[in-house]
Structure 1
């Protein structure tokens, strides 16, 4: 019996070892929670920065705000934004922040950089640049007299409508650590939103050219979404003086993933157009977080809009398309918007009806359902606003059926001609503006 008792005791875990393992595991969980909280703080900081930039309506104020918000996001001592000339090879404007009065006085009479050295390297190679030792970089040519001595650099290009508008430079973290990949990611996301803010301000300055031109230019030129093909079209309301709130966007993400959004802000005035721009800005920043499904992203967007804006009610559909052999997987969430239309390779039509969430701006605490659907090769998904189908004399189901027949009839056309045909022959009465974005999966 004594031997049996001793055997049982020998199999019991040693209490100090249990304490060590428990403390180790608790420490690991604590580190993960801290990392998650840090990521949430960064994301909220990014949203706040996007909102701050979007509120500026004058280009000089926007450019200065871009620099200061980027500095705040990563804790940088110095920041600058170099705006390129028409050739895209030289700096024609240089906005700085962080210099003390004495440092500005020491640089008095010194011309701003024209695109040489490490700054010029980013102009010639517009990929994100992190440098831990500027003086050791192969492109370094030193600093002019009176310039602060800088060790570290984080540089990101800002592209507007497919062209490099300028380069954002940050130097010297306040904690004296080099810039890391997290800093780079958040500044890249900020640069994407900043590009839209710059574009929007420039467009607002040209609003006198007419509401229709303003509305068209506010919408993006679709980027290269390969391996997918995509096309979009916007048509204003029949009354040309009315601004609209319809918009679309598409963003390529790593690993052959693409995010697509289409939406409609209630109203037909400058306020609706401005609300559309700010909503699109914030949503684009959130699209780079691939850890959350579309429903969670829309929920966070809704909470942010509710907290810091007075935007009108907005309907939208956010979708993400990812590889899934032998085709693709469509993930989407809807905020009170009309369903996407799927055209199969056999030219069949199917509306992707699913449980819709509430429009943005109604109740941000309500859950937002997520949905998914397999997409075969050579399938076309059509996202559109209700202006394409609404007619006061026709039931909505009748209009949807008519649109499906149009889509199958024109499905063999090249994609740009396809969306233009839908906009030309739409079943609505034309009282509202309309937007159509179609995306086609590749063939083998």
Structure 2
């Protein structure tokens, strides 16, 4: 129980200098400010969670890093503007060298203001922006022009007096800066505003770091896969060209491969193949299959069907190989000319371009892919090759599109080959890959051989 002496201490003594109504107004104002701060905090938490969720979904869906990164960073800028009530916002991303800004994302500029700045280079990290990068403590400025680091604004830049900025960093590494200018209510930026922008700058740092790590993983995966593919040897008198293009889906490994070698019996062997799957297992299986197939081709004098049969048996006995399609071919001398001798294991047919630039597919029974049925016999096929003819071996990543039948992709590739058949062979191969009719989500390999004109 409280004594009478203690009772006055439990009550707030009214300020005698203020009327009762004025004090109530001051208390109400504080309550409104507290409610507003709590609302902004909840909005900040909701936005940060939403931004992180968008970034995670982008990675899971294998979205191209630059596209999703720009969109998310722009969202961070506009979120900061909304929560603080700022008229202008911007975010600068440092180049990986840390020497200059490689990207500058703005929000809040009117169409007229953007037009006035159309010929002006975006900031490179000097002035106040450079100060933020080199001195990464949060920065609140009531008069930009009076700051020691200020170098002024370029011609046509909208007038800005106040600035709130924070460095974008993760674990001590600086990735850029986030800043706002001009509160719409005309007041200077306060500590609550600073806390918001620091939190969003931290979110931007995580997004940038993850995007760069993802891009590096993709680059390393592509480099690793390219190292497994051969450099074509000297195949004269034939002209040869090959090209591998990784999946348009970032970070996915593939199992497509090609190969071509001279054989001891004066035939030229050409191989194209595709291991099902888009992971490290598919890439490893591709390397095993290619190396084993090269050894069998060089060692044995059996026709292509026999090579595929032996390859299938060996792989099933020694490895846990995923289902694989392949086409094994020999270009053999025949009475002063050449003939194509091939066998397929569930693979798309070769494309033959005649010397007068007419295209036709060498359709045959495709046979079963490797790893399906060892007892199923495989067939051999032959076709004469005129001087100056071109044989194109390719994987289905070049033609498959989920919205179109396979025949449509094959027809489109044949038309494309006819249109570019007069090009030098390497340019021809590059044109087919550059203008392929597929959706680009699968990796693709292409190998072309052209017989000599004489």
TM-score normalized with structure 1 length: 0.53
Cα offset, 1:274, TM superposition: 0.3
Is 1:356 paired with 2:369?
no
**Which residue number corresponds to residue 233 of structure 1?**
243
Partner of 1:219: 229
Q: Give CA deviations for 1:416-444 in whole Å, capped at 9, x if unaligned.
A: 11100000000000010000000000011
Q: CA deviation at 1:348?
A: 0.7
What is the aligned counterpart of 1:315 among 318, 325, 332? 325
Please state if 1:386 is matched with 2:396: yes
Report if the CA contact (8 A) 2:221-2:251 is conserved.
yes
What is the Cα deviation at residue 371 of structure 1?
0.5
Cα displacement (A) at 1:220: 0.6
Counterparts of 1:263 and 1:221, CA distance in 2: 16
In 2, the alpha carbon distance for the partners of 1:211 and 1:365 equals 36
Q: CA deviation at 1:291?
A: 2.2
8 A Cα contact 1:230 1:439, kept in partner: yes
Secondary structure of 2:404 counterpart: coil
Instruction: Note the C-alpha offset of 1:211.
Output: 0.8
Distance 2:428 2:275 in 1: 25
Q: Does 1:288 align with 2:298?
A: yes
After superposition, the Cα gap between the structure-2 partners of 1:207 and 1:238, relative to the gap in structure 1 and judged at 3 Å, is closer
- The residue that corresponds to 1:375 in the other structure is 385
CA distance in 1, matches of 2:387, 2:280: 41
Q: Is residue 426 of structure 1 aligned with residue 436 of structure 2?
A: yes
Maintained 8 Å contact 1:326/1:376? no
What is the aligned-residue RMSD (CA, Å)?
A: 1.5
Confirm or deny that 1:334 pairs with 2:377. no
DSSP 3-state at the match of 2:298: coil
Once residues 329 and 356 of structure 1 are traced to their aligned partners in structure 2, the CA distance between those partners, rounded to angstroms, is 19
Shift of 1:289: 3.5
Deviation at 1:326, TM superposition (A): 4.0
The equivalent position to 1:299 in structure 2, one of 309, 312, 316, is: 309
Determine whether 1:250 maps to 2:260. Answer: yes
SS of 1:402 mapped into structure 2: helix
DSSP-derived class of the 1:288 partner: helix
For 1:102-144, what per-residue CA distance to the aligned partner results, in whole angstroms no more than 9, with x for missing partners? xxxxxxxxxxxxxxxxxxxxxxxxxxxxxxxxxxxxxxxxxxx
Q: Aligned with 2:299: secondary structure?
A: coil
The gaps in structure 1 that reach 5 residues or longer are: 1-205
Tell me the alpha carbon deviations over residues 304-356 of structure 1, each in whole angstroms, 9 at most, x when there is no partner: 11111101000000000111134201100000000000000011111000111
Equivalent residue for 1:442? 452
How many angstroms apart in 2 are the aligned matches of 1:262 and 1:243? 17
In 2: Cα distance, 1:237 partner to 1:229 partner: 27
CA 353–299 in structure 1, closer or farther in 2 if over 3 Å, else same: same
Query: What corresponds to 1:416 in structure 2?
Result: 426
**1:216 Cα deviation after fit:** 1.6
User: Larger C-alpha radius of gyration, 1 or 2?
Assistant: 2
CA contact (8 A) 2:345 2:368 kept: yes
Q: Which residue of 1 aligns with 2:147?
A: none
Tell me the distance in 1 between the aligned counterparts of 2:218 and 2:359.
Answer: 42
Deviations 1:38-75 (A, max 9, x none): xxxxxxxxxxxxxxxxxxxxxxxxxxxxxxxxxxxxxx
Contact in 1 for aligned 2:367/2:378 (Cα 8 Å): yes
SS at match of 1:231: strand
Structure 1 residue 275 displacement after superposition: 0.3
- In structure 2, distance between residues paired with 1:303 and 1:443: 39
Q: 1:364 to 1:255 in 2, by over 3 A?
A: closer
Any conservation in 1 of the 2:218–2:251 contact (CA below 8 Å)?
no
Report the secondary structure of 2:365's partner residue: coil
> Contact 1:377–1:441 (CA<8 Å) still a contact in 2?
yes
Between the aligned partners of 1:379 and 1:416, the Cα distance in structure 2 is 15
User: Residue 404 of structure 1: SS of its match in structure 2?
Assistant: helix
Question: 2-side partners of 1:423 and 1:382: how far apart?
Answer: 12
Moved over 2 A (4+): 206-209
* Matching residue of 2:118: none
2:330·2:342 contact (CA, 8 Å) conserved in 1? Answer: yes
Is the 1:390–1:428 Cα contact (8 Å) retained in structure 2?
yes
1:277 aligns with 2:303: no
Distance, in Å, in 2 between the alignment partners of 1:224 and 1:207 is 33
Q: Secondary structure of 2:423's partner?
A: coil
Whole-Å Cα distance in 1 between the matches of residues 412 and 449 of structure 2?
20
2:277 corresponds in structure 1 to 267
- Normalised to the residue count of structure 2, the TM-score between the two structures is 0.51
